[in-house]
């Protein structure tokens, strides 16, 4: 630890006052001169603690409706002056500028104002100018000044003050400087993303970070950047792992295709390694779970379970018989929760109704790939009759059900569905034929009768061999994007063998 430096003055200008009082009282106890302005100055005065108004220091009032308060050489000179530079010290003396050793700032809540749906002018007024300038100046001069740049840092800073009676080390000032630039960069990114409409640039910033037990494998470090508490209430279990989070992400994306507000039916899905191994839609959540599990009771072991309806006691009793990592639902009956909490490590989540990001990004080579999310869900309006036969009403329902699963399954994929129950899927195969064969074999292994089942494909069939295999397995209806120069070969086969096929015009690759 380096030699400690005694603080003698502090400038405080914060939006949120929560947690500030103990710091102000400690600074006063240590005999540190306080400077402040506006609401923060009033807050300090109301504590019956002496404070010097910034206006008295600068000889200028707050102007332009509060837009300009601290932007003055007598403030920034005191922050930026180098204490070991004779010229700087001489100018401080010449212009009667006091050194400022501590800067405490909490910025206007720009992101919260945007999220509230406020008018543009209100949002613009929440772009902090003085505060962000104070943060950057104090952090730059960390050799002499400590910058507390967020209310999240109040407690840590108070501990430092208390432990060393106002003496602060260089290492501590440098740590706080790094935090300060993290705050300022996140703030600027949020403003840029709000204002930007045309520039294609990659700017992402997250203040929240969770250190995971490890990454994809135990020898890899892992972190999650984002606010999970905004999406879930965690009711039970261990912390979510890296792989848990990937599966939960896949589960949420899949279940978002089945909006409970537009369907009275219950949908239940079981996922493993980012793919659905079972999913069914039924009149009750219990039957939906039972039929989802029947899709692949082997792969369901250790999986992630998700539903779009409240989990009741009867369903919880069935779930409790299965070892599963995570259960996700919008609600739980009290007696259902009691049962599910019977396994202490089982992660139980309530999913909240929030808007999800509309873009995706991931590292690739020495850069980042970014794209819009696949926001198209195939519905009846997209279906184009490709064959002489048109699917029956029940087949249409199964085809659209299968298409939603297909969209959320690793490519190449084929999905087989009957009576709104996943019979099997071929996932992540290098050819569509392999995916289809995998799905047919798996369905047969779990005793599904594929006669009258439907098939969904994430991309077109370049040859008629896929529909031929499907026909031989008993499948009667097909949904696919179409678009192959040899579409007619598959159409001809279907016409010759009394199969119906519809095109959507939308490919759903997922890599």
Of 163, 22, 172, 18, the closest CA to residue 101 belongs to 172
Q: Is 47 helix (H, G, I), strand (E, B) or coil?
A: coil
Q: Cβ of 239: how many Cβ atoms within 10 Å?
A: 12
Pairing of β 9-14 and β 33-36: parallel
Pairing of β 33-36 and β 52-53: parallel
Pairing of β 500-503 and β 477-480: parallel
- b/e map 107-137, b = 16+ CB within 10 Å: bbebbebbeeeeeeeebebbbbebbbbbbbb
CB–CB of 298/291 below 8 Å?
no
| Residue 219 a catalytic site member | no
Taking the C-alpha atoms of residue 148 and residue 9, their distance in angstroms, rounded to an integer, is 14
Provide the β-strand partners of residue 225.
209
Alpha carbon distances (Å) from 348 to 232, 249, 331, 332, 458: 9, 15, 11, 10, 32
Cis omega (within 30 of 0) on the bond before 76?
no
Q: Which of 16, 26, 140, 174 is catalytic?
A: 140
Rg of the Cα atoms in the chain = 30
48 CB-contact burial (10 Å; exposed 0-12 / middle 13-18 / buried 19+): exposed
For tokens 């700087």, the residue is: 88
CB–CB of 209/225 below 8 Å?
yes
Q: Is 280 helix (H, G, I), strand (E, B) or coil?
A: strand
Q: Which of 174, 234, 273, 341 is catalytic?
A: 273
Taking the C-alpha atoms of residue 257 and residue 485, their distance in angstroms, rounded to an integer, is 30
Taking the C-alpha atoms of residue 142 and residue 107, their distance in angstroms, rounded to an integer, is 19
| Residue 273 a catalytic site member | yes
What dihedral do alpha carbons 189, 195, 201, 204 form, nearest 10°?
30
> Annotated catalytic sites, by residue?
140, 273
């Amino acid at each position: 630890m380096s030699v400690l430096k005694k603080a003698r003055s502090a400038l405080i200008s914060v939006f949120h006052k929560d947690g500030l009082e103990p710091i102000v009282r400690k600074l006063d106890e240590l005999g540190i001169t306080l400077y402040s302005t506006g609401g923060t100055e009033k807050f300090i005065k109301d504590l019956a603690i002496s404070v010097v108004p910034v206006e008295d220091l600068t000889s200028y009032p707050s102007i332009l409706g509060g837009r300009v308060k601290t932007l003055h050489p007598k403030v920034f000179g005191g922050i930026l002056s180098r204490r070991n530079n004779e010229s700087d010290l001489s100018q401080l003396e010449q212009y009667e500028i006091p050194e400022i050793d501590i800067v405490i700032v909490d910025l206007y809540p720009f992101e919260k104002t945007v999220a509230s749906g406020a008018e543009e002018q209100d949002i613009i007024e929440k772009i902090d100018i003085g505060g962000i300038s104070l943060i950057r100046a104090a952090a730059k001069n960390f050799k002499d000044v400590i910058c507390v740049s967020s209310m999240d840092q109040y407690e840590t800073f108070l501990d430092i003050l208390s432990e060393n009676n106002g003496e602060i080390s260089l290492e501590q000032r440098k740590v706080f400087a790094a935090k300060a630039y993290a705050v300022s960069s996140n703030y600027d990114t949020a403003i840029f993303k709000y204002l930007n409409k045309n520039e294609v640039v990659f700017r992402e910033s997250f203040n929240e970070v969770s250190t995971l037990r490890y990454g994809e494998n135990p020898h890899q470090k892992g972190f999650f950047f984002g606010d999970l508490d905004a999406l879930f209430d965690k009711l039970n279990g261990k912390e979510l792992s890296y792989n848990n989070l990937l599966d939960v992400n896949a589960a949420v994306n899949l279940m978002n295709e089945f909006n409970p507000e537009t369907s009275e039916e219950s949908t239940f899905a079981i996922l493993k390694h980012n793919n659905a191994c079972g999913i069914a839609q039924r009149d009750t959540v219990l039957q939906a779970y039972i039929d989802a599990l029947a899709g692949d009771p082997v792969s369901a072991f250790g999986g992630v379970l998700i539903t779009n309806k409240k989990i009741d006691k009867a369903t919880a009793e069935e779930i409790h018989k299965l070892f599963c990592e995570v259960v996700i639902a919008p609600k739980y009956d009290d007696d259902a929760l009691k049962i599910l909490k019977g396994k202490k490590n089982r992660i139980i989540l309530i999913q909240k109704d929030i808007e999800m990001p509309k873009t995706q990004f991931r590292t690739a080579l020495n850069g980042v790939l970014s794209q819009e999310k696949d926001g198209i869900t195939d519905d009846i309006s997209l279906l184009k009759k490709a064959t002489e036969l048109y699917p029956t009403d029940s087949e249409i329902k199964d085809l659209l059900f299968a298409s939603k699963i297909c969209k959320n399954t690793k490519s190449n994929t084929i999905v087989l569905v009957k009576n709104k129950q996943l019979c099997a899927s071929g996932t992540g195969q290098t050819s569509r034929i392999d995916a289809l064969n995998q799905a047919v074999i798996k369905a047969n292994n779990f005793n599904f009768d594929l006669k009258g089942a439907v098939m969904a494909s994430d991309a077109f069939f370049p040859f008629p061999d896929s529909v031929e295999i499907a026909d031989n397995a008993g499948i009667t209806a097909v949904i696919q994007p179409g678009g192959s120069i040899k579409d007619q070969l598959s159409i001809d086969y279907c016409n010759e063998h009394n199969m119906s096929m519809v095109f959507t015009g939308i490919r759903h690759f997922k890599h």
